[in-house]
Chain A
Amino acid sequence: MTDMIKSSPKMSDTPEEREFELRAHIGAIWSGGRLFIGIYTFFLASLAFSYFYLRSSNNGLLWRPDHVTAPTAYGWTIYTLTLLAALMAIFGQSRLRKGSVSDWQTAVWVGVAASLLALFLQIWEFVAVPFYPGSSGYASTFIGYAVMNVMTIFIVAYWLETTVARSIRLNKELDGVSPQLSMHPSAQSFRANVASMTYFLGFVALASTLLFAMFYLL
């Protein structure tokens, strides 16, 4: 959410104009984060709709013959790791607000590691799933879920990694001043990005819980 073009060097902005641009920039990060959640909600809702549509249709009694279930050990592990990444981001942000950048960075690195492990396990589960993908409605939707989960976890890992990498660079730019305390535009932009990322990860935690319950518990 920091995809912003730099000011054209030809412009000679007044302080008010720079202030206006910065406010717009921060606002764009804020609204971009929320819009992204809206986009992702509809994307995942399509899967949930498909799940319940095929489940209620139960065509040829082939929704879920023999109550076939994806490997629950994988499911629990992937879910726990995803949740851990989200919780680390949320916990990290609370530490950042108290000025502890190192705590935030540690928490986010843990989140990166957890999400990368979850990503690896989700791909592994996808390629080694113990049923024929087209054997039932459940099997099909599970494959869809696995692919979408790979995408989700990849986004989570990417966002976490790029944000923590940015914070390390930012530390040098700000001469050691905490980005939580600095009024430098880069620091404000960074804080907005962290807030958007944390908000998105909270959404991922919620969505993962619902989808996990659908595919492994119901």
Chain B
Amino acid sequence: MTISAAGPADVKAVPPAPADAPKTTGNGWLSQHVGTAIVCGFLGYILGHWLGNYLGSAYPYIANSGQNSLAVLLALMFMVLGWLLGIGALNYPILKLTGRDAKPEVEYTGWSRYFRYNLDHKIVGIQYVVAVLMFFFTGGLLAMAIRTELLSPTVHVFSADTYIKIVSEHGTIMMMMASSIVVGPLGNYFVPLMIGARRMAYPRIEAFSLWTFVAGYFVIFSALFFGGFPTGWTGYAPLQTQAGPGMVSYLFGFAVISIGMIAAGFNLAATIINYRAPGMTWSRVPVFVWSIIATAALLTLASPVLLAAGLFGLLDKTAQTAFYVTEHGGSSYLWENLFWFFGHPEVYIMALPGFGIVGEIIPVFCRKPLFAYRIAAAGMIGVALLSFFVWQHHLFQSGINPDMRPLFMLTTELISIPTGFIFLVGMGTLYKAKIRYEVPMLFCMAVYFNFLIGGISGVFLSDVPVNVTVHGGFFVLSHFHYTIMGGLIFAFFAGLYFWLPKMTGRTMNKKLGLWHFWTMFVFFNLTFFPMFVIGLLGQPRRVFTYARDLQTLNDFSSIAAFCLGASFLIFVANLMWSQFIAPQKSPANPWDSLGLEWQTATPIPSHNFDRIPVIMTDPYHYSEVGAPALVDFGDGSPAHASSSVASSTDPDQ
């Protein structure tokens, strides 16, 4: 069966496909790649710095401000522009000025394609994996430094100033990473496969989102060379206004990342809306794709506010405006409002894809249909909508009209309802299931365990009296680590263990995977659960000393944190071992999943599907007798739920 009723009535005279396009070949390492991007970025930095000094000297209020943040900003801006120019991201936008269509893409093979501006969503997905791990391990090393400092309240490794800058850098890098850790690698890689698409709607914008994300890493990392920033990841004014040029890196870094986030969300939303295969109705869309489109909506609508907030902050630092300077007619609360209008949807930008991964994986290992699929999808949309109406709970302690508190307390508590829907969908699926405890499933179970603690503590925190009591302390810190790390990061690893066999064609070592899981799970809880107690006993965040009687708990937490850090080394070892040192070929569908992504060949062809598939039902009919066929690939052998095996076309299988 091939698609027959796909086109609209007015599209009748589609000309035949052109003969095979001429095979284009690249110039190898002489063409654009990461190396040229680094060189151009470096040259851009020098040029921008010179220009900033030249321009700044012409304006007395900049010249007299004591520091030329304009030079830092222009250096970073030109660095990013040079980076994008060097990698090839601007080739097509420049070519468009002449009215030309895009040139046929050079199809690089081998390792070099991972170091280029590649338009294949699968390559971009793998590039994203490396990029987010780079963020994650940098932020993780900074976390180790934090816990080292907190081993003793009196013997210090760092000065107070250095400590807060490490905390700030850790928080910012982790939040930037977390915003893309699922959408970037797994969203870009698997959404087209799951919806039966052969490509992304805007592959150049997709690749652009990746390379701006990487540029954002360098920008935020550069803060350390400009003296850091003392504000934590939230960048609150007036501390922001008083901070040195490292603050420019923070503000510009967030602006760059927000552009990348907008681009990623834009492309994914357009792809899901338009490129779903015939038969892939909204009621058949995989729950992971539902989570990605809800996230894409948040990315496209919330991130522009962060971009604007960053722009205003940069103007304060460079053009000497006073957006966040109360003494000059601005307001530090303006930053807080703009930041959190983005910042709270950001929490769900991080959480929703994690829920999507878990919702996708647990039916596979329970061999049961996903319980209340429509409720899960509705819950995700509900969370996304409500997330725009809760940001003021971050201001309960700072400047909000007290009469407004109950309203935002209510909206915050309301959001726990759709979140609860999603949680209950998981519980309903697990109920009476004969669970296969493979590594991805264990990570999923951990997500429910951790998120339950994070979620319930969140309900307490939404109440004004509790919020006032524990605000700014380790209780809050523990809460959001339970939701973000306990939820999202565990879900990310569940997704990696689940999908890496499809991405690379190689199986991860199960024994090492189990070691990774158990050490990560145990030491995560041993690290962060004591922090609830530490917080309730009064230890504030972002302070490098604390009451002497809290040292035992802090030491316990620090040692557990070191072990937690070590658990990631097991993952790295597993990755190296399983993918490079002793690679073991994966079966076509190692988990017997019904997901469409598993029904195509491994390795996945560049165009994903030889024929556009026709979707016949949703992918959750596990263990159902007489379940309908899943998909028709047009080759006369529809994949069937009861067989639940891949119709692999891999000649090697």
Contacts and interface: CB of A to CB of B under 8 A. Distances in A.
Interface of A: 2-25, 27-28, 31-32, 35-36, 38-40, 42-43, 45-47, 49-50, 53-54, 57-60, 62-64, 132-141, 143-144, 147-148, 158, 161-162, 164-170, 183-186, 188
Interface stretch (B325-333, B424-432, B573-581): B325-333
Given A59-B331, A132-B61, A42 B305 contact: yes
B97 A135 contact: no
A25 B628 CA distance: 30
B385 to A, nearest CB: 14
Report, nearest first, the 3 A-B pairs whose CB atoms are least far apart: A165-B99, A62-B329, A46-B308
B3 to A, nearest CB: 5
Interface residues of B, number: 81
A12 B17 contact: yes
Given A3-B92, A22-B14, A133 B315 contact: yes
Given A6-B21, A31-B274, A188 B312 contact: no
Given A46-B309, A134-B322, A166-B99, 7 more contacts: A2-B96, A15-B16, A32-B270, A59-B327, A134-B330, A140-B312, A147-B315
Best-buried of A4, A12, A63, A134 by chain B (most CB within 10 Å): A134
A15 B12 CA distance: 10
A169 to B, nearest CB: 4
A11 B609 CA distance: 9
B201 interface: yes
- A interface, over-half SS: helix
B274 A57 contact: no
Contact of B301 (A11, A14, A38, A58): A38
B274 A27 contact: yes
B21 A169 contact: no
Contacts of B28: none
Interface of B: 2-4, 6-8, 11-17, 20-21, 23, 61, 92, 96-102, 104-105, 119, 197-205, 262, 266, 269-271, 273-275, 278, 300-302, 304-305, 307-309, 311-312, 315-316, 319-323, 325-331, 333-334, 337-338, 341, 605-607, 610-612
B606 A140 contact: no
- B interface, over-half SS: loop
B270 A31 contact: yes
Contact of A183 (B14, B204, B269, B612): B14
A134 B100 CA distance: 45
B7 A169 contact: no
B8 A23 contact: yes
Given A6-B102, A59-B329, A143-B319, A20 B3 contact: yes
Best-buried of B20, B319, B320 by chain A (most CB within 10 Å): B319
Contacts of B320: 132-134
A59 B330 contact: yes
21 contacts: A3-B204, A9-B21, A9-B23, A11-B607, A21-B612, A22-B7, A23-B11, A28-B271, A35-B300, A50-B334, A57-B333, A59-B331, A132-B320, A134-B328, A136-B322, A140-B312, A140-B322, A140-B323, A144-B312, A161-B97, A164-B99
